[in-house]
Amino acid sequence: MQQSIAGACDKCRRFFSVAGAPALIKFGMAETKKRVLLLTTELEMGGTERALLNLARSLDCSGYEVFAASLRGDGPVDAMLEEAGVPVFRLAMSGKFDFAVVGRLAKILRDEKIDVLHTFLFHANIVGRLAGRKARTPVVISSVRLCERRPHRLLLDGLTHFMIDAATCVSQETLEYTARYARVPRRKLTVIPNGIAADFAAGADEGRRVRESLGIPPDVPVVLTVTRLAAGKGIDLLRRIAKNMIAKRDDVHFVVAGAGRYLDCLCGMAGERLHVLGHRTDIPALLAAADVFFLPSRREGMPNVILEAMAAGLPVVAFDVRGCRGLVADGNTGLLAPRGDWRSASLAIERLLDESETRARMGCEAERIAREKFSLDATVRLTEELYRRLLEKKRK
């Protein structure tokens, strides 16, 4: 037994260390892998999609066979999932009122004999609940990625919670909000934060190569933003800050990575010191090339990209909104500005650019906290434990 464990893959070793061989027998996994389908609204590159990708890659290979599905469209994460050996179903949802998608998903759940359906983002949560009930999927889990403010969504969430076995929340703040405003019972809510892989950060050489490719000198400060260029992400604030700071200072460079509806708008003002890159897959290298990370979002759940910046040893400037303030300790791992106050955010960025010792101290503390409190291994372990607990409950 010892030799077989030693020869297993890393994922298998983690499963044995957490559950042990008796648990495999208890849950029937020694003979049959449990089949998990991870469903999201789309597979463009965003925080939720990266979290789904990390989970799909990391779920224990001895206990689970993983599938993924998106309600609409292809995207960069689609190819990454397939490269990792995860089959992807594309449901071709044509709009909000394409109710036929429920039947298409239910058929996949039945045909593939899915044991656990785990959904991400609002539309996937609702479609997944309906399809899971139609297909009689044993375990259905939703995820809550942010504090939803739209009344109709909160109402729908509350009216359909009886269709799920549990909902994962990215933070305690998100859990409390969901219990209070969506009226989802607390017994169904559990906190599972985003996690960062131990080998996430890139080396200094990769950072230098990024600077060289963009024509940025090695001794000038770089402010990096990685985000989905969509509504609610504060792209207008980013434009204003970059424009004013570039006019005010002759040294700073802004680098923006991400895709979305506002990409063309940003590209229109790109110049010698504002680099708009579009979608990138080399986020660790971009972080290694930067001095300060700035997230302009007006609302968030638990932004994965802040965790990535912290793990790369960067101080973070963000607005004092839910999700961001749960990660950025003001004055310790970065600086928070009042929501939407671009002038305060600009001053915070300038302070970090000008105070190298403060920047280094905050960056070191940010990296320590990201590594100690938000490891991907811990996130995956909590998720696997939730799956096992709910499957065991259904077997009784």
Side-chain half-sphere CA neighbours of 329 within 13 A: 13
**167, 235: one domain:** no
Q: Are 222 and 249 in contact (CB under 8 A)?
A: no
**381, 344: one domain:** no
Check residue 44 and give left, alpha or beta (phi > 0: left; psi -120 to 50: alpha): beta
Q: What is the largest CA-CA distance in the chain?
A: 68
CA 26, CA 177: separation in Å to the nearest integer?
36
pLDDT at residue 339, as a whole number: 95
**390, 344: one domain:** no
**215, 345: one domain:** yes
**284, 380: one domain:** no
CA 165, CA 139: separation in Å to the nearest integer?
6
Q: Positive or negative, the Cα torsion across 48, 53, 58, 60? A: positive
**61, 166: one domain:** yes
Token readout for 216 is 């940025």
Q: Are 289 and 211 in contact (CB under 8 A)?
A: yes
CA 314, CA 366: separation in Å to the nearest integer?
7
Token readout for 154 is 């909160």
β-strand pairing of 253-257 with 222-226: parallel
**119, 254: one domain:** no
pLDDT at residue 61, as a whole number: 82
**241, 317: one domain:** yes
Local confidence pLDDT in tens for the 396 residues of the chain:
334 333 444 444 444 444 444 444 444 444 589 999 999 998 887 888 989 999 999 998 889 999 999 998 778 888 899 999 999 999 999 988 899 999 999 999 999 999 999 999 999 999 999 999 999 999 999 999 988 889 999 999 999 999 999 999 999 999 999 999 999 999 999 999 999 988 888 888 999 999 999 999 999 999 999 998 988 899 999 999 999 999 999 999 999 999 888 888 888 888 889 999 998 989 999 999 999 999 999 988 889 999 999 999 999 999 999 889 989 999 999 999 999 999 999 999 999 999 999 999 999 999 999 999 999 999 999 999 999 999 999 887
**275, 134: one domain:** no
Structural domains counted in the chain: 2
pTM greater than the 0.85 cutoff: no
Side-chain half-sphere CA neighbours of 92 within 13 A: 3
pLDDT at residue 266, as a whole number: 87
pLDDT at residue 19, as a whole number: 47
Q: Which residue has the tokens 């998106």?
A: 70
pLDDT at residue 24, as a whole number: 44
Token readout for 201 is 């950060």
**29, 66: one domain:** yes
Q: Which domain holds residue 233?
A: 204-373
Question: Does residue 141 sit in helix, strand or coil?
Answer: strand
Question: How far from 196 is each of 34, 53, 135, CA to CA, in Å?
Answer: 25, 12, 34
Beta sheet of 139-144, edge-to-edge order: 88-90, 64-70, 34-40, 116-120, 139-144, 166-169, 189-191
**315, 335: one domain:** yes
Provide the CATH number for the domain around residue 369. Answer: 3.40.50.2000
Beta bridge partners of 237: none
Token readout for 59 is 């779920």
Q: How many CB atoms lie within 10 A of CB 10?
A: 11
Give the torsion through C-alpha atoms of 18, 50, 361, 322, to 10 deg.
-100
DSSP 44-61: SSSHHHHHHHHHHHHS-T
**344, 384: one domain:** no
C-alpha distance across the termini of the chain, in Å: 29
Side-chain half-sphere CA neighbours of 270 within 13 A: 15
Token readout for 249 is 């200072």
